[in-house]
A = this chain, B = another copy of it.
């Protein structure tokens, strides 16, 4: 992984850290034993993958990227078999190292497709389908989104109409907007597909239900009759994956290809309603907690690259004539990166705590208690949005903080961004997510007005309005939490009052909702941020020794930076006053200086192998310029000194210009 010599600036950074980065790594990977196991798996994966000498993914055409991704899946599959891996975390570490930020075409098969079969099929269906799916006879994907329809599920147009005579469903894309669009692996890889379609039986439309539709011949892989399927073309990222479209023209499937664990259609066409569909919320929450974790992980990679490079990169002087300094010594550079290091930890911790909360709620559900489900659901929507926004903005900020070289694919940062940014719009568009959270917050506020008690995460709404912050230069952690909670409570209360006032003026609730939706999103964001800060504070308090004080500083940096970013929201009701605002600005400068010496150790602790970062700038050994040069020299354009295009296009163009100026004398050398 490392070359013989480590850049001395980077070495010095590691020596001057005030805490043991390994201790933090153990926290991130659940102890020394699991950390060792993670390292073993990732090293093995890296070694195995290096044998193939893959070209950087960004230098390949779409077809070549797709081909490489299939090969990577092959490598991963073989290793998984050999090691008999089953544990989800171990699998994710292995796959991360075999295909770092490379979207593999079997991705949706192994997640959404299998998952839906397992959770939505009857036992009989599972027995029939799972062996086929697990052994890759069926390679599936999950087709919900249509060209004209995404987040608003009731708008989906695909139909599955039951024909009682043949005991089949007839599946159709009635319009161009109803064509299924975007599912990963759908274009060229999958031979079957869960299709979400409006179930129509006996002339009645029962809305969205899942159907298993075979789309390609299991042997020849040719599309079946009535199926038009293909790749959707080049995208901003994810080009190794064949996101596809699917048009269904009177495709007939057997009745029992409808996934019937919940709803059913009997042979005669009778529709049988599900008993309880609240449990499906749970799965969605789990997916969202994975998104929060994934967002945190992408941001962790980006800050690792940018911080290491900023420790190695010397540019400009601070003291005139005293030589160029590490760019990490500039306060402006610290301001760009150190709050993002803090954000990476804040989101990592929030995702862990949310996952733990999910497990607790699931246990409760199994015991018949649904009480905490709504607040978990609201939290998961808000955190999904907040984390994906903060992470993808953060990745871009890291890229820009690497100057010109960040723009080269050699930096690894464009790839991280291309893979990370879809999180903002998929699995629930972020603004819609925040509005879901807001709806719950407003509901809680209403309940409070009626004297009801609120569930655990919402208790803070009960504090009386007004008052002023106790924040002083000591930056007590609980004062920071209280400030975030006060601001969220104030915003929920303000926007609730506006909704009520609109109602009292005769405005329809839905119109009032829309005309206050900007503030509703802001309130939901404030609620989500309050959770992240609280969660960060609670977790670092469990640390001890030097690590504890380092992480407390990082936590303060995250919280203070967040307050200053939205300062008006904290000052609007006078909760934070002018003196405190000034004081917080000074504290921010101090916190940056305090975190600075530990910056490299804090990113080292994420423990990413070089191959996972896939970055000339983020290398463990800091030998960035040689790596950048090697990347350049290997450009496809350098395979020939003089390209064919020179003779085909450049030279003729030049000659056409010469003809206009035949009198110009051309020397052999200038």
Asked if A60 is at the interface (CB within 8 A of a chain B CB), the reply is yes
Complex Cα spacing A58 to B235, Å:
8
Report the minimum CB–CB distance from A431 to chain B (whole Å): 5
**A281 / chain B contacts, CB cutoff of 8 Å:** none
**A572 / chain B contacts, CB cutoff of 8 Å:** 567, 571, 578, 581-582
Contacting A188 at CB < 8 Å: which of B176, B409, B578, B643?
Answer: B643
Report the minimum CB–CB distance from A43 to chain B (whole Å): 24
Query: Which residue of chain B is the closest to A401 with respect to CB atoms?
Result: B431
Docked-complex contact B56 and A234, CB < 8 angstroms:
yes
**A335 / chain B contacts, CB cutoff of 8 Å:** 518
Q: Beta-carbon contacts of A307-351 to B below 8 Å, as 1s and 0s?
A: 000000111111110001000011111011000000000000000
**A581 / chain B contacts, CB cutoff of 8 Å:** 568, 571-572
A selection of 15 A-B contacts at a CB cut-off of 8 Å is A78-B656, A139-B654, A147-B625, A179-B629, A182-B404, A192-B670, A235-B414, A316-B432, A318-B510, A318-B511, A332-B518, A403-B429, A564-B568, A567-B567, A567-B568
Docked-complex contact B658 and A135, CB < 8 angstroms:
yes
Docked-complex contact B407 and A641, CB < 8 angstroms:
no
Interface size of A in residues (CB-CB distance below 8 Å): 160
Within 8 A of B (CB), among A392-410: 396, 399-400, 403-404, 406-410
**A319 / chain B contacts, CB cutoff of 8 Å:** 508, 510-511
Contacting A149 at CB < 8 Å: which of B149, B315, B568, B593?
Answer: B315
Query: Which residue of chain B is the closest to A654 with respect to CB atoms?
Result: B136
**A635 / chain B contacts, CB cutoff of 8 Å:** 62, 187, 230-234
Q: Beta-carbon contacts of A497-514 to B below 8 Å, as 1s and 0s?
A: 000000000001011001
Asked if A59 is at the interface (CB within 8 A of a chain B CB), the reply is yes
Asked if A177 is at the interface (CB within 8 A of a chain B CB), the reply is yes
Complex Cα spacing A570 to B421, Å:
32
Q: Beta-carbon contacts of A236-259 to B below 8 Å, as 1s and 0s?
A: 110000100100000000000100
Report the minimum CB–CB distance from A222 to chain B (whole Å): 6
Contacting A658 at CB < 8 Å: which of B59, B137, B574?
Answer: B137
Complex Cα spacing A151 to B403, Å:
9
**A470 / chain B contacts, CB cutoff of 8 Å:** none
**A404 / chain B contacts, CB cutoff of 8 Å:** 145, 150, 181-182, 422, 425-426
Q: Beta-carbon contacts of A367-385 to B below 8 Å, as 1s and 0s?
A: 0000000000000000000
Asked if A621 is at the interface (CB within 8 A of a chain B CB), the reply is no
**A585 / chain B contacts, CB cutoff of 8 Å:** 519
Docked-complex contact A578 and B588, CB < 8 angstroms:
no
Docked-complex contact A632 and B670, CB < 8 angstroms:
no
Complex Cα spacing A256 to B197, Å:
76
Majority SS at the chain A contact face: helix
Work out how many copies of this chain go into the complex: 2
Q: Beta-carbon contacts of A86-106 to B below 8 Å, as 1s and 0s?
A: 000000000000000000000
**A396 / chain B contacts, CB cutoff of 8 Å:** 396
Given contacts A319-B510, A329-B514, 16 further A-B contacts (CB under 8 A): A61-B61, A61-B64, A135-B664, A136-B657, A188-B646, A192-B670, A214-B670, A220-B642, A223-B641, A232-B635, A233-B408, A236-B399, A245-B629, A400-B424, A518-B588, A572-B578
Asked if A465 is at the interface (CB within 8 A of a chain B CB), the reply is no
Report the minimum CB–CB distance from A566 to chain B (whole Å): 8
For the complex of A and B, list the 4 residue pairs with the smallest distance between their C-beta atoms, beginning with the closest.
Answer: A567-B568, A231-B637, A233-B635, A236-B414
Query: Which residue of chain B is the closest to A630 with respect to CB atoms?
Result: B233
Report the minimum CB–CB distance from A588 to chain B (whole Å): 7
Within 8 A of B (CB), among A527-586: 564, 566-574, 578, 581-582, 585
Query: Which residue of chain B is the closest to A666 with respect to CB atoms?
Result: B137
Docked-complex contact A235 and B408, CB < 8 angstroms:
yes
Asked if A354 is at the interface (CB within 8 A of a chain B CB), the reply is no
Report the minimum CB–CB distance from A606 to chain B (whole Å): 23
Docked-complex contact A233 and B410, CB < 8 angstroms:
yes
Query: Which residue of chain B is the closest to A134 with respect to CB atoms?
Result: B661
Docked-complex contact A317 and B152, CB < 8 angstroms:
yes
Report the minimum CB–CB distance from A591 to chain B (whole Å): 11
